[in-house]
Chain A
Amino acid sequence: MAGSNEVNLNESKMVVPLNTWVLISNFKLAYNLLRRPDGTFNRHLAEFLDRKVPANAKPVDGVFSFDVVLDRSTGLYIRIYRQAHGEEPQLNIADLEKPVTAEVAPVIVFFHGGSFAHSSANSAIYDALCRRLVGICKAVVVSVNYRRAPENRYPCAYDDGWAALKWVSSRSWLQSKDSKVHIYLAGDSSGGNIVHHVALRAVESDIEVLGNILLNPMFGGLERTDSETRLDGKYFVTTRDRDWYWRAYLPEGEDRDHPACNPFGPKGKSLEGIKFPKSLVVVASLDLTQDWQLAYAKGLEKAGQVDSASWVWLSSLYVDAGLDCWVQRYGSACSST
């Protein structure tokens, strides 16, 4: 209804700067065009509209990047971001995988957001974020270009995340002085969801993950929570679009209580007794799915994962907004673990 629409637009405009509002609204409207009612996705238009940037072996603001294809058949690639240490202005192929020199060199495996359907590792918004992470966390950042829904449903994204984690943990050039790769998993929105599930797989292997960082992670469930009802449509996001993305990602016929979506729900399993990485969960208080995110944090706590923390933070919802805040939070998370 026109009236309530107006109210919504005004409210969302009050919580972010105008340019951020323009950015997010532009995304929102474009995304509305891409989701078809029949559950299919206009992938060509999505790729056309997505602003992408190439990797750049020439350092910019002290950070350079390069891409590595891990699996030709699926197109799985990762974009690696590293600090340039006063090298020549040009780095050649031979220099890219030079061993890290720090005593403790954190490596952040990052999963971009996009509700499992949108964006790529080379999307401008995520390239910008990863570059920031390098400088502030003094880390190597590995951004994973996982396969997306609806063309590739669960568990493709987790499979790709797991493949990337294995690759990272087996690189000798990423080892700190103790001959181990110090790995953190980080991600926003669907990326946050992937963090949880990849960490789960790591638990059953001999790969150690030192910490999980989940930013506005994408979780849900069948039940309609209070925050979903209260905030539906108020700040750029609707339950309807959330439902669409879950339907696109989850196996056909499954509902939102599937453990991928609701890890501590009726079909989920407890992490009690499991050595799960300590987790930082960042929740935006204007996020309509915050009840699910808080439930996730609670689930960790219940399972005795006492090293976890969650932060409630009044801000807007997307990667780009409040960037500095997030990045500083990661920085302290990385250095304190």
Chain B
Amino acid sequence: MNKRNHGETSSGGGFGVKGSGECSSSSSSGKAKMWDEEQDASGGMDELLAVLGYKVKASEMANVAEKLEQLEMVMGTTPNLSCDSTVHYNPSDVSGWVQSMLSELNNPNPNLDPLQPIVESPVLVPPPPTTTTATTVDSSAINNVAGFSNSQVDDSEYDLRAIPGSAVYPQTDINEGSRKRFKSSTGSCSSLLPSSSSLSSSNVCEQTRPVVLVDSQETGVRLVHTLMACAEAVQNENLELAGALVKHISLLAASQAGAMKKVASYFAEALAFRIYRLYPQDCLDPSVLDVLQMHFYETCPYLKFAHFTANQAILEAFTTASSVHVIDFGLKQGMQWPALIQALALRPGGPPVFRLTGIGPPQSDNTDALQQVGLKLTQLAETIGVQFHFRGLVANSLADIELSMLDIRPAEVEAVAVNSVFELHNMLARPGSIEKVLSTIKAIKPKIVTLVEQEANHNGTLFADRFNEALHYYSSLFDSLEGSSGLVPESQDLLMSEMYLGKQIYNVVACEGVDRVERHETLTQWRSRLGASGFEPVHLGSNAFKQASMLLALFAGGDGYRVEENNGCLMLGWHTRPLIATSAWQLAATDL
């Protein structure tokens, strides 16, 4: 091989459609399609581009090419091309992206009219509460518990450090600082309906099993094998074998360390529950879960990311409304809302009137948890100067919510957002529930629906499959807790966070039927469901992406956590494994 080969092709001119010069490659079997077969691709989408993450209809190719040429011309004559103020949406839609760039560059908007106050700087810090005295705020709650106490509000309990950024941002004057103008390319939010024209690649995505190993960690091969074998035995109803394996797992787990040990222990316990039919009842005690969730909120960025990205979408939807109403499907400790209240306060032109309806389950000790949270939020809103009204709605299930309970005002008067963070998957446990909830949402006629869910399929019909999926998913989660929290191992926060996740594991593995509520499904599955129910996507853009990334860098030292854009939605993952997904929706045009 010491000669230099100059294999030249017949030069010059076009290569026709094949374009591979001297190598007229024979099409290998499988998915390799030649370019001249692009017309046959599913849904008319070009297959080459689809595999590479871009959706362009074969029939549109020439048109898109022309627009690209135009864009290049315009870019050539634009100064400060790389100025960062443009917001980009959904890069997979090449046509939409090019079109929006053309609009942006051809008609630069001279008016400084930022659509939202949060631009370059992430979520703003509320001023520290100036008073701890309680004010009796009439939050006109209508719920099943009579009255609420007017006692002193202890601010230390409602930890404002829970608000993203507060621990890290100095208490600067919020109104200062350069807020760069940016323009939302609203004209081009291409809303490709998610479901019916889904490509084969997206079906493949749904069945993807992303795995990230960390080299320094012992992967515990035997342990994993035994766990899987146990799950198989359970699925085959070979309980004697399963029982023997579970005991063996405990032994193996004892010799592990770190995240793997904890994950294995939770899964082993859950298997034991299932085998011996000891479904843990305290799984579902709401007040306990809330406490655990608070620790989880502190320890890692998943919830902060969820709240932050959902709030971004809500803010953008609320830009021009003078009166807004947010319906929170799971109020819990209300940690999402201080930041939104803050952001609304800083809206150019002043804040709207803000109504919040917080939904939550009945408490076992009959306390009015919703009211307590509402009170704190009301107080906060007062200090910030936002007109705020809270209402708590106790419900056993979201499917029990009727339109009449929600006090919806006409759309011309008030803009409504429906917010669901890790709540909707619970509805998949009872037949009919999800349909009921989605139809209620539609009846609300919301301006925007924000949905955050775990990015995993823990709702498959086969137990062993579910088990495997969950094992991979929670392994990543636990690894991220250990790797990034910077906490001393075995700190209280860490332990509580692990328990929070552990309860989910118990539920996925040990429960069935209506008790199994942790029925997580992937973004692809939710897209399909929501698309079929009459919703269309509202895309989250590069501004939300950037701010979420910056937030992560501040909070979690950045290491390991990654934000990814996926067809207008944002995902947060640990290294390359996506773990939660935020999407936003509105009613499809035909449904209005």
What residues make up the interface of A, taking CB atoms closer than 8 Å to B?
Answer: 2, 5, 9, 13-23, 25-26, 28-30, 32-37, 42, 44-45, 47-49, 51-58, 60-62, 66-70, 72-73, 75, 77, 79, 90-94, 96-97, 122, 124-125, 128, 132, 135-136, 167, 278, 285, 297, 301, 306-316, 320-322, 324-325, 328, 336
Residues of A within 8 A of B576 (CB): 52, 54-55, 67, 77, 79, 122
Residue interface mask B8-39, A partner, CB < 8 A = 1: 11010111011111110100101110010010
Known A49-B88, A72-B560, A93-B219; judge A55-B2 contact (CB<8 A). Answer: no
In the bound complex, what is the Cα–Cα distance between A35 and B17 (angstroms)?
A: 33
Residue interface mask B226-253, A partner, CB < 8 A = 1: 0010000000000000000000000000
Cross-chain contact of B8 among A23, A26, A314 (Cβ < 8 A): A314
Residues of B within 8 A of A5 (CB): 72-73, 76
Residues of A within 8 A of B71 (CB): 29
Interface contact B64-A22, CB-CB below 8 Å: yes
Interface contact A70-B215, CB-CB below 8 Å: yes
Interface contact B7-A320, CB-CB below 8 Å: no
Q: Can you name 23 A-B residue pairings with CB atoms under 8 Å?
A: A14-B14, A15-B14, A16-B15, A16-B19, A19-B35, A19-B61, A22-B61, A23-B54, A26-B68, A26-B94, A45-B542, A48-B91, A48-B545, A49-B542, A52-B576, A57-B211, A58-B207, A67-B575, A69-B560, A75-B559, A90-B209, A97-B219, A336-B1
In the bound complex, what is the Cα–Cα distance between A55 and B18 (angstroms)?
A: 30
CB distance from A324 to the nearest CB of B (A): 3
CB distance from A146 to the nearest CB of B (A): 15
Interface contact B82-A36, CB-CB below 8 Å: yes
Least CB separation from A312: chain B residue: B6
Interface contact B25-A19, CB-CB below 8 Å: no
Bin chain B's interface residue count: 35 or more
CB distance from B492 to the nearest CB of A (A): 24
Cross-chain contact of A25 among B18, B21, B68, B101 (Cβ < 8 A): B68
Residue of A9, A16, A51, A66 with most chain B CB atoms under a 10 A cut-off: A51
In the bound complex, what is the Cα–Cα distance between A70 and B575 (angstroms)?
A: 11
Interface contact B575-A69, CB-CB below 8 Å: yes
The 6 nearest A-B residue pairs measured at CB = A51-B53, A324-B25, A54-B210, A325-B23, A124-B53, A44-B546
In the bound complex, what is the Cα–Cα distance between A48 and B563 (angstroms)?
A: 8
Residues of A within 8 A of B6 (CB): 311-312
Interface contact B68-A29, CB-CB below 8 Å: yes
Interface contact A61-B31, CB-CB below 8 Å: yes
Interface contact B221-A93, CB-CB below 8 Å: yes
Residues of A within 8 A of B23 (CB): 322, 324-325, 328
Residues of B within 8 A of A79 (CB): 576
Cross-chain contact of A68 among B65, B213, B468 (Cβ < 8 A): B213
Cross-chain contact of A77 among B31, B82, B84, B575 (Cβ < 8 A): B575
CB distance from B206 to the nearest CB of A (A): 11
Residues of A within 8 A of B471 (CB): 92-93
What residues make up the interface of B, taking CB atoms closer than 8 Å to A?
Answer: 1-9, 11, 13-15, 17-23, 25, 28, 30-32, 35, 38, 46, 48-49, 51-54, 56, 58, 61-62, 64-65, 68-69, 71-73, 75-76, 81-82, 84, 88, 91-92, 94, 97-98, 101, 204, 207-216, 219, 221-222, 224-225, 228, 465, 468, 471-472, 475, 483, 542, 545-546, 549-550, 559-560, 563-565, 575-578
Residue of B5, B13, B49, B88 with most chain A CB atoms under a 10 A cut-off: B49
Residues of B within 8 A of A47 (CB): 545, 549, 563-564
Least CB separation from B475: chain A residue: A93
Interface contact B21-A20, CB-CB below 8 Å: no
Residues of B within 8 A of A301 (CB): 4
In the bound complex, what is the Cα–Cα distance between A264 and B68 (angstroms)?
A: 39
In the bound complex, what is the Cα–Cα distance between A309 and B6 (angstroms)?
A: 10
Residues of A within 8 A of B560 (CB): 69, 72, 75
Interface contact A307-B68, CB-CB below 8 Å: no
Cross-chain contact of A90 among B25, B98, B465, B577 (Cβ < 8 A): B465
In the bound complex, what is the Cα–Cα distance between A1 and B15 (angstroms)?
A: 28
In the bound complex, what is the Cα–Cα distance between A41 and B153 (angstroms)?
A: 48
Least CB separation from A1: chain B residue: B76
Cross-chain contact of B212 among A67, A136, A320 (Cβ < 8 A): A67
CB distance from A59 to the nearest CB of B (A): 10
Known A54-B577, A90-B209, A124-B51; judge A309-B72 contact (CB<8 A). Answer: no
In the bound complex, what is the Cα–Cα distance between A62 and B546 (angstroms)?
A: 36
In the bound complex, what is the Cα–Cα distance between A167 and B549 (angstroms)?
A: 30
Interface contact A51-B91, CB-CB below 8 Å: yes
Interface contact B4-A94, CB-CB below 8 Å: no
Residues of B within 8 A of A97 (CB): 219
CB distance from A135 to the nearest CB of B (A): 8
In the bound complex, what is the Cα–Cα distance between A22 and B25 (angstroms)?
A: 21
Interface contact A44-B549, CB-CB below 8 Å: yes
Interface contact A309-B1, CB-CB below 8 Å: yes
In the bound complex, what is the Cα–Cα distance between A60 and B207 (angstroms)?
A: 10
Residues of A within 8 A of B38 (CB): 19
Interface contact A325-B21, CB-CB below 8 Å: yes
Residues of B within 8 A of A60 (CB): 204
Cross-chain contact of A312 among B7, B25, B210 (Cβ < 8 A): B7
Known A2-B73, A54-B208, A128-B52; judge A17-B19 contact (CB<8 A). Answer: yes
Residues of B within 8 A of A37 (CB): 82
Least CB separation from A294: chain B residue: B4
Residues of B within 8 A of A72 (CB): 214, 216, 483, 559-560
Interface contact A51-B52, CB-CB below 8 Å: yes
In the bound complex, what is the Cα–Cα distance between A196 and B559 (angstroms)?
A: 29
Residues of B within 8 A of A20 (CB): 19, 35, 48
Interface contact A124-B563, CB-CB below 8 Å: no
In the bound complex, what is the Cα–Cα distance between A61 and B30 (angstroms)?
A: 7
In the bound complex, what is the Cα–Cα distance between A200 and B565 (angstroms)?
A: 38
CB distance from A265 to the nearest CB of B (A): 20
CB distance from B271 to the nearest CB of A (A): 15
Cross-chain contact of B20 among A22, A28, A67, A322 (Cβ < 8 A): A322
Residues of A within 8 A of B559 (CB): 72-73, 75
Cross-chain contact of B88 among A48, A93, A285 (Cβ < 8 A): A48
Interface contact A309-B5, CB-CB below 8 Å: yes
CB distance from B79 to the nearest CB of A (A): 10
Interface contact A48-B94, CB-CB below 8 Å: no
Residue of A20, A92, A132, A307 with most chain B CB atoms under a 10 A cut-off: A92
Residues of B within 8 A of A22 (CB): 49, 56, 61, 64-65, 68, 94
Cross-chain contact of B224 among A17, A92, A278 (Cβ < 8 A): A92
Interface contact A29-B82, CB-CB below 8 Å: no
Known A9-B69, A60-B204, A67-B575; judge A309-B545 contact (CB<8 A). Answer: no
Interface contact B73-A49, CB-CB below 8 Å: no
Residues of B within 8 A of A311 (CB): 5-7
Known A15-B15, A56-B210, A324-B25; judge A23-B52 contact (CB<8 A). Answer: yes
Residues of B within 8 A of A306 (CB): 2
Cross-chain contact of A48 among B21, B209, B222, B565 (Cβ < 8 A): B565
Residue of A18, A278, A311 with most chain B CB atoms under a 10 A cut-off: A18
Least CB separation from A136: chain B residue: B28
CB distance from A23 to the nearest CB of B (A): 6
CB distance from A193 to the nearest CB of B (A): 20
Residues of B within 8 A of A32 (CB): 75, 81-82
Interface contact B578-A54, CB-CB below 8 Å: yes
Interface contact A51-B213, CB-CB below 8 Å: no
Residues of A within 8 A of B17 (CB): 17
Cross-chain contact of A51 among B92, B209, B222 (Cβ < 8 A): B92
Residue of A54, A312, A320 with most chain B CB atoms under a 10 A cut-off: A54
Known A19-B56, A22-B64; judge A66-B211 contact (CB<8 A). Answer: yes
CB distance from B59 to the nearest CB of A (A): 12
Residues of A within 8 A of B92 (CB): 51
CB distance from B213 to the nearest CB of A (A): 5
Interface contact B209-A56, CB-CB below 8 Å: yes
CB distance from A317 to the nearest CB of B (A): 13
